[in-house]
Structure 1
Amino acid sequence: QDALQWLKSKPDEWLLFLDNADDPKIDLNKYFPQCNHGNIIITSRNPGLCVYASSHSAVSDMEESDAFNLLLRSAAQDTTDPNKTIAADSVKVLCYLPLAIIQAGAFISKSGRLDGYLALYATNKSRLLSQKPAQSHDNYAWTVYTTWQISFDQLSQQAKSFLRLCSCLHYQGISEDMFKNAAGYKFGPSSPSKNELQMPLYVLSQFSDPCGNWDPLCFMDVTSEIRAYSLVTFHSGKKLFSIHPLVHDWTRSTVSDGGHHHCMVA
């Protein structure tokens, strides 16, 4: 409070920087000086914080050239043409995700083998994305998988179940209508039995009101909760959701439970 009061009392231009403001349960408004001067920059994975901004910018995955340069720099490798080719293939597999690239670079720097990383990644993806390098180019404390696990653990059980269900679909082109139509599906003699689809049917039933009708507000609440942790992205123009390919793969391989097979049948 003293700091906020001090900023409020200063008529000069000042900059307040709120970095990694990712927790949607925290009301950031309490940390803003209540005045008409000064500047505030917020970095966050939570798209809901756009309500505070007069302007905002979504940071997407890296461009290929920036990505392979980051990998080579993190891996302490020379920027030769052969290395650029290998690095370009590597960052493509990593889906141009900066944290994954930095983590891969730290591993390559330790092993000294840029050309061997892709083969190792193909068979040891979970281990490589879960390992915290001893030496790092930044002070970020979490690995790729740890970051997602911490976010996943904050979700309600309904949101967790829905994300698991989404992991059985393609990571792009996910629409509300897909789930609405599935929730209203009428089982016939040749249909799979309800026992086979017990898990997805239970998840879908949670989006119905007491009369059995589809509840769009409930669906919006659950998807907004997941979006707040950047585990899914909503494309407003197309009204479609997508999941980053690495998040999608992590969800399928790490947090999907015993209902995964039945989910795939659905």
Structure 2
Amino acid sequence: MSSRFTKIYFITADTEESIQACLFDIAIDNGLGNPQDWRSGIHWLNTHEENWLIIMDNADDPRIPLRRYFPPCEHGNIIITSRNAELQNAVGQSLELWDMSPSEGLQLLVKHAVKGPLNKVQHKHAAQIAKELYYFPLALVQAGAYILKQNCLLTYSSRLKSQRRQLMERKLTQFRDKYQLSVYATWNLSWNMLSEKSQKLLEICSHLHHEKIPRQLFE
């Protein structure tokens, strides 16, 4: 794909702030020494008639006026990933992607969780874990990394249930669907294994844009 397009940019589209930060980075990456704001990125895309590609990822929030961040030009390409079905009315073409099949979900989990072939007992537990995570790719990858590190394929399911129960007892309101709860539960298991210093470092980074965090900031 990289040989087909002149430039490829990933834009985190879950908030307007993250979209604007990514557009600002586009301006910086293309030599605009003193860009005023995110509009400089839009200007560069609009004025450079190249076959660039923008991937707007996780554009799920219907309150974001996404078209505001489209360059007003005929050239270039934009791909949007979203769980907001209403966006079909804002784009030229759309394609609905279905969930992974059970066999695909199991294969993805095993790829990250185990080195070598599975025996029957391990296969049964892996299949159950994939089912409990609704075959969501991100949750499966995070669970697999945790299982590999902790060597806990046979006990992961019970740990996951315990983690979910703790999250539900907190009565957190941000979980809109099974996807968010599953991803957060698998991520939180890994978070709890980190040292206090590692957690503090990630907490600091969470206040920054996730790309190009300068080393000098910590030095």
Question: Which band: TM-score by shorter chain?
Answer: 0.5 to 0.7
**123, 137, 144: which one aligns with 1:105:** 144
Q: Deviations over 1:154-178 (max 9, x none)?
A: xxxxxxxxxxxxxxxxxxxxxxxxx
The structure-2 alpha-carbon separation of the partners of 1:114 and 1:60, relative to structure 1 and needing over 3 Å to count, comes to same
Tell me whether 1:92 sits opposite 2:116 in the alignment. Answer: no
**Separation in structure 1 between the aligned mates of residue 63 and residue 42 of structure 2, nearest angstrom:** 21
Larger RCO (CA within 8 A; separation ≥ 6): 1
The verdict on how the C-alpha distance between 1:109 and 1:149 changes in structure 2, with shifts beyond 3 A counting, is farther
**Partner Cα distance (1:99, 1:9) in 2:** 36
Inter-partner Cα distance in structure 2 for 1:96 and 1:43: 18
Gaps of 5+ in 2: 1-38, 185-219
Which ranges of structure 1 fall in alignment gaps of 5 or more residues?
131-145, 153-230, 232-243, 251-266
2:174 aligned residue (136, 139, 150): 150
Please give the per-residue CA displacement for 1:177-232, whole angstroms capped at 9, x wherever unaligned. Answer: xxxxxxxxxxxxxxxxxxxxxxxxxxxxxxxxxxxxxxxxxxxxxxxxxxxxxx4x
| TM-score, scaled to structure 1 | 0.45
Q: Does 1:45 find its partner at 2:83?
A: yes
Matches within 5 A, 1:242-253: none
CA distance in 1 between partners of 2:179 and 2:90 (Å)? 29
Which residue does 1:16 correspond to in 2?
Answer: 54
Q: 2:157 aligns with which of 103, 106, 118?
A: 118
CA drift of 1:12 comes to 2.6
The partner residue of 2:117 within 79, 83, 99 is: 79
Query: Kindly tell me: are residues 77 and 125 of structure 1, through their superposed partners in 2, closer, same or farther at Cα, counting changes over 3 Å?
Result: farther
Partner of 1:35: 73
* Inter-CA distance 59–81: structure 2 relative to 1 (3 Å threshold): farther
Q: Match of 1:57?
A: 95
Contact 2:136-2:179 within 8 A present in 1 as well: no
Q: How does 1:194-233 map to 2 (within 5 A)?
A: 231=177
Correspondent of 2:108 among 55, 70, 79 = 70
Count of residues in correspondence between the two structures = 141
For the pair shown, the structure with the greater C-alpha radius of gyration is 1
Length-normalised TM-score, structure 2: 0.53
Query: Amino acid of the residue matched to residue 76 of structure 2?
Result: G
Could you tell me the percent identity over the aligned residues?
36
Instruction: Deviation per CA, 1:110-164: give whole Å up to 9, x if none.
Output: 3212122234445x15158x5xxxxxxxxxxxxxxx9x84355xxxxxxxxxxxx
